[in-house]
Amino acid sequence: MIYDYDAIVIGAGHAGAEAAHVLAKTGKRTLLLSLSLEAVAFMACNPNVGGTAKGHLVKEVDALGGIMGEIADRATIQRRMLNAGNGPAVHSLRAQVDKNLYHRLMKRKLELTDGLDITEAEAAEILIDNGAVCGVKTAMGKTYSARAVVMATGVYLDARIITGEYVRATGPAGFMRSTALTANLLALGLDIRRFKTGTPMRILSSSIDYGAMEEQCGEEGLPAFSMLTEDEVRNDKKCWLTYTNARTHKIILDNLSRAPMYNGEISGVGPRYCPSIETKVVRFADKERHQVFIEPEGADTEEMYAQGLSTSLPYDVQEEMVHSIRGLEKAKITRYGYAIEYDCLNPLELNAGLGVKKYKGLYSAGQINGSSGYEEAAAQGLVAGINASRYLDGKEPFVMRRDESYIGVLIDDLVTKGTEEPYRMMTSRAEYRLHLRQDNADLRLTAKGRELGTVDDERYSKYIKKVAEIAEIREALKHRYKPEEVEEVFTAKGETLPGGSISGEEILRRGRLSARELLMIDPAFSKYDYDAFFNVATEIRYEGYLVKEQRTIKEAQRMEEKRLSPDIDYSSIEGIRKEAREKLDAVKPMTVAQAARISGVNSADVTVLLLWLRKREAATAVSAKSEENGKDGE
């Protein structure tokens, strides 16, 4: 038996899977510990991948060599493009996936990964020697040595499930919880807090009256999540939309005294942007109804997921509530909704590479960092795995900037601002979102992944092909069309006809026209890859805005280039306010730009910090010059 590894990953959820895979992929002998092998990449909540801003994360993970996108494509049963009626910056691919198939595919992917061992065991203690990680001890007393450890424990730390008065000491979906690691983390001096999330009931499909609901079909002609996907992505399962009503809301309000969220049974902080139905009814009392999406859990099950009805109300209230909703009057609940409380780490304990500041070789990723969502977890897992590998190689950490990826925004928000509730990625959090689109994720990040050693030849060759195809499309758009060739489409869209010939590029600049209209004028463009053609059309259409955004990005990068040592004693810098000094000492920013984003640090504090840096740099230069002159004198 092998007990000596380069790296150990604790937890095999969406963060742990990406971390373990990339560590092994970069040549590190890796051990992946899971409480249960049946929980590998298990979707305990909604079985979907992507969605608003989350689709961006999946595409970025794929561009960097991650595996969530390719597995999601193979397990998809329906897909749609969210926000398609808005600008391209917020277009987000969303796939409903078969949860059991996704688990099986991911588990097999990891089992076949060279250099990766998977073992079912509970991590009880992270071993530290002289301020650095040296291994992990399991609850059975078995010790594994390693110089790098990634914590990806999800919602399993001291977890408990709550449905009304019924409380179970267990992890999600009935999986066992981790009972020992929290005490170890506290003993290591790490700041632990208590968060909460939840899930709705599942309903038997044959008991649902779909005729009373709005049909939600998948959309055709959409791109895949992964650039490696060549086969047709399955898209034949339907979802359905119904709504709560005044009766539903009265049932909830009449039973608030039995709701764990309101009677004190739950102490953990819940997510603001994905609240329970009882929270929605209380918080938005003026709303007459709330959406409820009925979505399939998989292709081989009759269970349907009731998105929008996340709850921890007692079982009898859940039944009454469900039966008050149109189409669910005779619904049979197969699994009751619940809330889950769990321990997590204050993300301010981490640096921008997701390393724990207090200990060398220790990294943390996923919901243990206070985030929510499979996609946020996978993105963090990939970055934590990359940096654990780089640490083992004696290299500087890989840090993603806010202007180059949603992953950079996600991690920077967590480690710079912290979070007081489960963090969810949204497009509004990205200040450069017109530049950070889905369609250019591979163009932004694949070359970077190649440099990191995470992008293999197959993926890189597809990237090179797309770059060449984009150049070809650019050339093809120079072709000019006669007025009579565009008249039908222009007239239908209410666009003024050109006085003479017009190029494809000029057509795309017209306000009422888009890539879709150009395809109608010249179907020859349909031979090109969807992402490549859409990318070019978007770049041309929003060129002015993109140029302006690039100028802003370049200005911000100057501040990102001003590095800060983790050894700076901010309490000794005169002129910085006390609150700012305390925040700077707590976060230990890696750059001046990160320092400026810390809550409680204002522009005046940053100015003082810049002046202090200049003085220190000048003093260092003088000292170096004196030393050089002294040597010359000798």
Q: How confident is the model at residue 228 (pLDDT cuts 50, 70, 90)?
A: very high
Q: What is the mean pLDDT of residues 291-309?
A: 97
Per-residue pLDDT, 295:
98
The fold for domain 566-633 equals DNA polymerase; domain 1 (1.10.150)
Q: Considering the chain, what percentage of its residues have pLDDT values greater than 90?
A: 84
- pLDDT score at 2: 60
pTM: 0.92
Q: Are 294 and 367 in contact (CB under 8 A)?
A: no
Structure tokens at 306: 């009731």
What pLDDT score does 623 carry? 65
Q: What is the pLDDT of residues 158-170, one digit of tens each?
A: 999 999 999 999 9
Residue 617 token pair: 């740099």
66-122 pLDDT, tens digit per residue, is 999 999 999 999 999 999 889 899 999 999 999 999 999 999 999 999 999 999 999
Name the pairing type of β-strands 202-204 and 502-503.
Answer: unpaired
- What is the pLDDT at residue 622? 64
- In this chain, the answer to whether the domains covering 202-339 and 465-551 adopt an identical fold is no
User: How far apart (Å, rounded) are the C-alpha atoms in residues 73 and 77?
Assistant: 9
The C-alpha atoms of residue 103 and residue 116 are separated, in whole angstroms, by: 17
Instruction: Return the structure tokens found at 303.
Output: 């269970």
Q: How many Cα atoms are found within 13 Å in the side-chain-facing hemisphere of 54?
A: 21
Structure tokens at 219: 């959309």
Q: Which helix (H) or strand (E) holds 479?
A: none
Separation CA 616–CA 632 (nearest Å): 24
Report pLDDT for 266.
78
- The band of 154, judged by pLDDT with boundaries at 50, 70 and 90, is very high
Q: What is the pLDDT of residue 264?
A: 79
Q: By mean pLDDT, which of 182-186, 447-451, 546-550 is the weakest? A: 546-550
Residue 132 pLDDT more than 80? yes
Give pLDDT, residue 627.
Answer: 65
pLDDT digits 0-9 by tens, 35-44: 999 999 999 9
| CA proximity to 99, closest of 301, 306, 309, 335 | 301
Gap between the Cα atoms of 307 and 292, Å rounded? 6
The residue ranges of every structural domain in the chain are 202-339, 465-551, 566-633
pLDDT at 629: 63
| CA-to-CA separations, 532 to 34, 59, 129, 554, in angstroms, rounded | 39, 14, 50, 25
The alpha carbon dihedral of 322, 325, 330, 331 has a sign of negative
What are the tens digits of pLDDT across the range 48-70? 999 999 999 999 999 999 999 99
SS3 197: strand
Class of domain 465-551: mainly alpha
H helix intervals, 393-497: 406-412, 441-452, 457-476, 483-492
Domain 202-339: top CATH class? mainly beta
- Report the pLDDT averaged over residues 450-456: 97
Angle at 387 between CA 385 and CA 392, to 5 degrees: 100
> Residue 537: exposed, middle, or buried by beta-carbon count in 10 A (0-12, 13-18, 19+)?
buried
Which pLDDT belongs to residue 177?
Answer: 96
Confidence of residue 624 (pLDDT cuts 50, 70, 90): low
